[in-house]
Amino acid sequence: MTFDAQFRVLEINSIEGLLPYRFVWRGLFADTADASFFQTYEWFVCYWKHFGASQRMRVLVVLHGDTAVGIVPFIIRIESTKAGPIRVLTYPLHDWGSVYGPIGPQPAATLLLAFRHLSETARDWDTLDLRWIDDAGSDHGRTGNAMALAGLSPVIADWKHSAIVEFDGDWES
């Protein structure tokens, strides 16, 4: 995919604004490698219903012309630290999932355009902390590379370790 002026990022800040993109989200989810339940539209809506009141939504839809090629669901939440409260721009997980990332078949392009958008818009967050990235695994270093190309300064560190067990066969076997 080449980058040209036909790419743009649409930022959505409300569930009502997101509603017209529910089918697009579902279609992109179906094309997402290593996708998890936590990346579904239904999860995001449920999450927002129960936890959104104290947060701000920043869902980024990456478009090529009029066609959505990726979605990056961000939220801003306040976290307490020893230095006081900070506004954290992050994925909508709260430590429930193991791995997260952009939704759609082109994660590197989606991340690059999303991070460019963040670097060019008013900053309403203190830190960008994407804790659920499998940097050496399914992410393949895309997130850090995209951040750097967008002019952000990534610091890559372990947050938590999770064990994921994959079984062959179906439920009965």
In this predicted structure, the answer to whether residue 160 has a pLDDT above a threshold of 70 is: no
* pTM of the model as a whole: 0.85
Nearest CA to 19 among 37, 44, 39, 47? 44
Tokens of 132: 């659920």
Residues 77, 86: Cα–Cα separation, whole Å:
8
Report pLDDT digits (tens) over 30-82: 999 988 899 999 999 999 999 999 999 999 999 999 999 999 999 999 999 99
Tokens of 120: 């060019």
Q: Is the dihedral of CA 145, 148, 2, 113 positive or negative?
A: positive
Of the listed ranges 3-7, 13-17, 39-43, 115-119, the least confidently predicted one is: 3-7
Q: Is the dihedral of CA 29, 98, 114, 72 positive or negative?
A: positive
> By the 8 A CB rule, do 57 and 13 touch?
yes
Give the pLDDT confidence score for residue 20 in this predicted structure: 96
Q: What is the mean pLDDT of the chain?
A: 86
